[in-house]
Structure 1
């Protein structure tokens, strides 16, 4: 049994995609850009933080192919107007904390799963590429007391897949890398776990489906809360 389970937030414990989509469209609209993206678009944009998500949205508007968009933040950077990108990011970051909970909800059974883990002695935390302020707001609202630590992205913590936040939490918990596991729904989470020296458990109810996760080498992949708890405690 692992002594600690460190969870991603968006697409893993919380269904945030509608609010992310709406806030993205708002940030784009007020800056004069295309603003009709749907939840499937937003799921492709997010996973690597706000800057990458807004870059991908602007690149899509500019006519980049799906493959080119997906590489932004992974192998390439957005080549458009940096000032315009900064304006869109700023609009998103101003808007989202006050609108991050209009349609967001926990995935069915996740609250009980986390309570189950804690009852069995597993310590829990969150590491997210979400703005730190919003991550704390949502964790407190839906999982009050459920996590020892919640860490989003701020001016001192680099976004995943950099392992800074994960290693910081392990240090605070006084645990070794073989005593904790990271749980997430995207390829970014798999890479984050690898970079931090942790095993990764993937879930297929979030931003990436099972077929995609299998393609990027995810193992194990859980499709329900019972199998997730079992993977952590066995």
Structure 2
């Protein structure tokens, strides 16, 4: 019997694509690079912190030889402006809030594992889902990011549960790969930023199309 449901954040719980594009484009413009169309952010959102800002700079026209130098600088600026209004254009996907409430009422432990910077993720979760999640872990410098399985296994250890008692729901190939490497049941959420073909290619344990389908695993 599953005792915990662990969620990805961007593209799974929340539609943040417009928010991410808005602030990262501000950062690109600030450093003299080209703004990106939203479809580029669908590619970027699945990446780790390091890969995100390296690819952001590359897409924005940064010379290859300057990417290492600017990666953490543009990352810090992006996070700074993001925190000025971290809920701007952000909203839960339809049905998510009701599903979380029902899971909570069933006594299921809820947690978030995301590659979004930890302080931003914690603020968003506290604002939009107060007292709903037992734990929220985002990217912290020096810690492994998804798809490294240690990020998920460390979270499960903090919950004092076994991996057999947990499932992980996310909208990208990276989420599925993280769960598979950790030997945790993987749920691919088809309402997110990635195509159904990408999800199918990673062979998740299940693909769901509506948030309420998660409840099936906690009957």
Deviation of 1:161 after TM superposition, in Å, equals: 0.9
TM-score by length of 1: 0.87
Conservation of the 8 A alpha-carbon contact between 1:49 and 1:129: yes
- Among 150, 158, 163, the alignment partner of 1:177 is 163
Q: Which residue of structure 1 aligns with residue 71 of structure 2?
A: 85
Q: 1:137 aligns with which of 123, 134, 138?
A: 123
Match of 1:157 in 2: 143
Residue 169 (structure 1) shift: 2.2
Number of the residue aligned with 1:75: none
Residue in 1 that maps onto 2:203: 217
2: CA distance, partners of 1:104 / 1:155: 25
CA contact 2:169–2:175 (8 Å) conserved in 1: yes
Q: Give the TM-score taking structure 2 as reference length.
A: 0.92
Closer, same or farther: CA 81–55 of 1 in aligned 2, 3 Å: closer
- Corresponding position: 1:30 with 2:16: no
1:233 aligns with 2:181: no
CA distance in 1, matches of 2:104, 2:67: 47
For the pair 1:20 / 2:20, whether they are aligned, the reply is: yes
Unaligned stretches of 5+ residues in structure 1:
64-77
Match 2:89 to one of 94, 103, 108: 103
Alignment of 1:195-206 (within 5 A): 195-206=181-192
Structure 2 contact 171–191 (Cα < 8 Å) conserved: yes
How far, CA to CA, are the matches of 2:38 and 2:79 in structure 1? 19
Are the equivalent residues in 2 in contact too, given 1:28–1:34 (CA < 8 A)?
yes
Structure 1 CA distance, aligned partners of 2:30 and 2:60? 15
The alpha-carbon distance between structure 1 residues 81 and 121, as it changes in their structure 2 partners (threshold 3 A), is closer
Secondary structure of the residue that 1:140 maps to in structure 2? helix
Q: In 2, distance between residues paired with 1:150 and 1:165?
A: 12
1:6 and 1:183 in contact (8 A); partners too: yes
RMSD: 1.9
Please report how far the alpha carbon of residue 87 of structure 1 lies from its aligned counterpart in structure 2 after TM superposition. 2.4
- Quick check: 2:23–2:81 contact (8 Å CA) kept in 1? yes
Single out whichever of 154-163 and 128-137 deviates more from structure 2.
Answer: 154-163
Q: Deviations over 1:149-204 (max 9, x none)?
A: 01111124221111233222211221111110001000110111122221110101
Query: 2:52 aligns to what?
Result: 53
**Quick check: 186-195 or 161-170, which moved more?**
161-170
Given the superposition, is the C-alpha separation of residues 166 and 111 from structure 1 closer, same or farther in structure 2, using an over 3 Å criterion? same
**SS where residue 113 of structure 2 aligns?**
strand
Unaligned runs of 5+ in 2: none
Q: Does the C-alpha gap of structure 1 residues 119 and 79 become closer, same or farther in structure 2, counting only changes over 3 Å?
A: farther
